[in-house]
Structure 1
Amino acid sequence: MTATTATTPPSPAPGTSGTGARTGRRALRDAASRVLLANWTGASTVPSHTLYPHQWSWDSAFIAVGLSRLSPRRAQRELETLLGAQWDDGRIPHIVFNPAVPLDAYFPSPDFWRSSTAGAAVGAPPGIETSGIVQPPVHALAAWLVHESDPESSGRRRFLERVYPRLTAWHGYLRANRDFGGEGLASVLHPWEPGMDNSPCWDRPLERVEPAPATSFRRADLTHGDAADRPTDLDYGRYVRLATDYRDRGYTDTDTDNDTHTDAGPRAPHGFVVEDPGFNAFLIVSEHALAAIALTLGQDPEPHRERARALTTALVGRLWHPEAGLFLCHDLRTGTPIEEKSVTGLLPLLVPDLPGHVVAALLRTASGEHFGLGSTTALAPSYDLRGRSFDASRYWRGPAWFNINWAVERGLRQHGALARADDLRQAILASAGASGFAEYVDPRTGRARGTTDFSWTAAVVLDLLARTEDPGEER
């Protein structure tokens, strides 16, 4: 499916009472359900049959949360399928490839990553082809929410007992292999790892990366999407170079000959090493989820709680910048903060134990001139509205994404900004429905961008609708 044509700004979301409102919610729920059912492949869900015809890591986490509102069994299967491709070192790869999909349907394809051979020394599974990089660790949170949706089904199938060891191994991988700053935070080694692929936050760190020749790869994404919505060829050349270098080093994270933790020279032979606040916020929230899972299984939750506390301290100590009113990314190759203002800096609202002054500042920033949430924008944009690189159409350089706004809504609600959370929830529902469950939208007009019938957009709609109908369930 190609990028959609312009749409009018989203109309107000369905109300919360009355026959018309109930009918509107039912129609939206039915439409979202059809998207997820159509994108289900039998063991997992593709984000989009055209642009993204395989299983993606953090997509599946959000998708599982929404699927739990339709079929807790299928939601459990979604996460179990993903975890079935976990590497022996604990990493969850960002793509699990479907062997039935032609190689030219997506790039980088499995013959580029060559995980089963190039990654064999660090534990890539021999019978499954995957990528070698990772995505944000939202999986334990998703597993816990899936369990909560139907504890009886979860318990009967011993769902938590099966996934808990794999999830703890995943967090263990990040703790052991990605703490390049030496203070506990996980670092990302490729712009695709924090999920916000072509964010302006990566422009400066990527300047030192020599791009792969344009003749060395073919972009399948431009077959199904508008080039104006997608990363540039120069961006892609640098992505390919970083991924190629990582693959050719056997997907090893650390340089054993340089076992040091310094901002000036992290113990990694990588050209791109960044601490991202959103990635680490999801890690903290997922540690809290692991504590809840451990308690449910009769195990000690305290190690997870202690790690969550330590990570929260490190997050505030290293990435909070009061003058910006925002958490900023940190470039470990130069030892300096990245000044660009991205929505990733608002995601620590998910963290339950933030200092009060940090929460207050984040709330001001969210509604201020840089993000305009609730004033100039209905949904939080992915990048600073006043930033030099803002582009309302191009991928993560300005458009609003539904999974991110779902996370912001949770953060607002957690910290007591209930009216603002309610407004954002209604805006998500309205914009998702009006845009045909778009991949992302113009944050000011609601115009659909990317592809439509996008799985995580439909998934967060199902979750938000369920919580609207049962306010006592707010999770």
Structure 2
Amino acid sequence: MTTLRMEEAAHAVLARNDRGGYTVPTDRLYPFQWNWDSAFVAMGFATFDVDRAFRELERLIEGQWDDGMIPHIVFHAPSDTYFPGPDVWGTKHHVPTSGITQPPVFGMALRHVYEAAVASGLADAETRAKVLFQAALRSHRWWLAARDPEDLGLVSILHPWESGSDNSPAWDEALARAPTTTSTAIRRKDTSHVNAAMRPRDEDYQRFIHLVDVYRDCGWNPKQQWARAPFKVADVQMTAILARATADLMHLAGILGSENDRAELAQMQGRLVNGLARRWRPHLSRFVSLDLISGADIEAPTQAGFIPLVALALDDAQRSAITAEIRRWLDGMTVGIPSAPAFSPAFEPKRYWRGPVWAVINWLIADGLRLNGAEELARHIEQSTVRTIENVGFCEYFDPTTGEGLGGDTFSWTAAAYLVLGRRE
């Protein structure tokens, strides 16, 4: 299929998943609006329809809480094809939402969409972007207040779902402390849409829902959740995305905000960059998260160890080491970067975040490589991602060893990734 035809097919995927100004990741499996999915989708829309790109972000912040948190799911309309639904979360927001968040790609998306809108001459771009800028700023304030109360310069996740990498091997030890008992009846719907071998195990779900029960019992109060959390990880992937988004908001502050906003963002970014830089481990050639309950480094190799590239300018030794490590992960793979490497004992090439390749992760890592002057490696990752999508379609994720498409099909953020990465040289 020609590039033009594939772009048209990507547009069709986004149209198919449009629910009236917001996009579901894919029909039935994920029938609501997801936070970081929509941020990537907005950047995809910006390649051909900037008005619709703005609308994606505007619909997402309809779910923003008064304290600034942007939840990981906004339940704009009812559906019985997904668990846990709004009844399980029991939040008290004016729009039904989940009670946890997701990687804050929003600020990155806002810069991308705004710049595309200015280039296209969209008349009301600045007015719309100013509202979104303030929403993003409130979100970043929430992150540092609620998820770095100890001033580590690292933001923490209290649930694996917040990371976006739900069943990553990085969480195995920390998650094992959460009991499998729940006060909520578990009614998994995902395995009726997708082969169970591609999804988290039942035991993972029991622990996931136990955490939901704990935080719901806290009334979703951030201080109470922090105090009671059985799972508390200072996550380098989350921190890196927040730091990069903060830098993007700083870039926009002179136009969309105030000098005080820019100064506040600069202080935030300095705190995050300094915290993130301390997580480099030369003997591993990557960055590592920190288990705040045990105090131990999380050394399980996952894609998260490379995401700090989007936020940090590495020195020559670090750049050489991390690019060599990425090439080691790519060795023998049909498409990379795997979410866990083939040499890891935890590697499962078809099970969700335990090995499969995700187009948006490749997008982030390639952006980070370009930031650090490794254009050739970035281009290799981008082109292999584009070729894989052209070969098997807009799948949720891919087997790195075969290139086989996995999970849901006609997936929105994969279509968005194709539209963005396919235009790079």
- Confirm or deny that 1:331 pairs with 2:291: yes
- Confirm or deny that 1:361 pairs with 2:353: no
- Confirm or deny that 1:36 pairs with 2:14: yes
Query: Following the alignment from structure 2 to structure 1, what is the Cα–Cα distance between the partners of residues 236 and 312?
Result: 14
Shift of 1:98: 2.8
Given candidates 67, 86, 100, the residue that maps to 1:133 is 100
- Confirm or deny that 1:466 pairs with 2:423: yes
Query: Following the alignment from structure 1 to structure 2, what is the Cα–Cα distance between the partners of residues 226 and 255?
Result: 37
Query: Following the alignment from structure 2 to structure 1, what is the Cα–Cα distance between the partners of residues 415 and 251?
Result: 27
Q: Who is 2:330 aligned against?
A: 372
Code of the aligned partner of 1:464: L
Q: Who is 2:109 aligned against?
A: 142
- Confirm or deny that 1:86 pairs with 2:47: no
Given candidates 211, 217, 224, the residue that maps to 2:193 is 224
Query: Following the alignment from structure 2 to structure 1, what is the Cα–Cα distance between the partners of residues 67 and 115?
Result: 29
Q: Who is 2:273 aligned against?
A: 312
More deviation, 176-185/428-437? 176-185
Trace 1:56-455 onto structure 2 (pairs within 5 A): 56-99=34-77, 101-102=78-79, 104-116=80-92, 125-126=93-94, 128-151=95-118, 152-153=121-122, 155-156=124-125, 158-213=127-182, 216-255=185-224, 268-297=227-256, 299-300=258-259, 301-317=262-278, 319-368=279-328, 371-372=329-330, 376-455=333-412
Q: Is the 8 A contact 2:17 2:26 kept in 1?
A: yes
Percent identity among equivalent residues?
38
SS in 1 for 2:107: helix
Code of the aligned partner of 1:105: T
SS in 2 for 1:37: helix
Shift of 1:384: 2.3
Q: Is the 8 A contact 1:321 1:328 kept in 2?
A: yes
Aligned-residue RMSD, C-alpha? 1.7
Code of the aligned partner of 1:90: G
When residues 115 and 416 of structure 1 are mapped into structure 2, their CA distance, relative to the original with a 3 A threshold, is same
SS in 2 for 1:467: coil
Q: Deviations over 1:322-360 (max 9, x none)?
A: 111111121000111112011011011111433343232
Q: RCO greater where, 1 or 2, for CA within 8 Å and sep 6 or more?
A: 1
When residues 240 and 427 of structure 1 are mapped into structure 2, their CA distance, relative to the original with a 3 A threshold, is same
Q: How many residues align?
A: 421
Shift of 1:288: 0.5
Query: Larger radius of gyration, structure 1 or 2?
Result: 1
Query: Following the alignment from structure 2 to structure 1, what is the Cα–Cα distance between the partners of residues 424 and 23?
Result: 23
Code of the aligned partner of 2:91: S
Q: Is the 8 A contact 2:100 2:162 kept in 1?
A: yes
Code of the aligned partner of 2:66: D
When residues 42 and 215 of structure 1 are mapped into structure 2, their CA distance, relative to the original with a 3 A threshold, is closer
Q: Is the 8 A contact 1:342 1:382 kept in 2?
A: yes
Shift of 1:295: 1.6
More deviation, 196-205/458-467? 458-467
Q: Is the 8 A contact 1:147 1:154 kept in 2?
A: no
Query: Following the alignment from structure 2 to structure 1, what is the Cα–Cα distance between the partners of residues 191 and 27?
Result: 14
Code of the aligned partner of 1:350: V
Query: Following the alignment from structure 1 to structure 2, what is the Cα–Cα distance between the partners of residues 228 and 330?
Result: 29
Trace 1:8-47 onto structure 2 (pairs within 5 A): 24-47=2-25
SS in 1 for 2:237: helix
Code of the aligned partner of 1:68: A
Task: Give the TM-score taking structure 2 as reference length.
Answer: 0.95
SS in 1 for 2:20: coil
Query: Following the alignment from structure 2 to structure 1, what is the Cα–Cα distance between the partners of residues 74 and 141?
Result: 20
Unaligned runs of 5+ in 2: none
Query: Following the alignment from structure 1 to structure 2, what is the Cα–Cα distance between the partners of residues 356 and 158?
Result: 42
Q: Who is 1:457 aligned against?
A: 414
Q: Deviations over 1:290-348 (max 9, x none)?
A: 1011022362223323321221111111x221111111121000111112011011011
Query: Following the alignment from structure 2 to structure 1, what is the Cα–Cα distance between the partners of residues 423 and 238?
Result: 26
Code of the aligned partner of 2:286: L
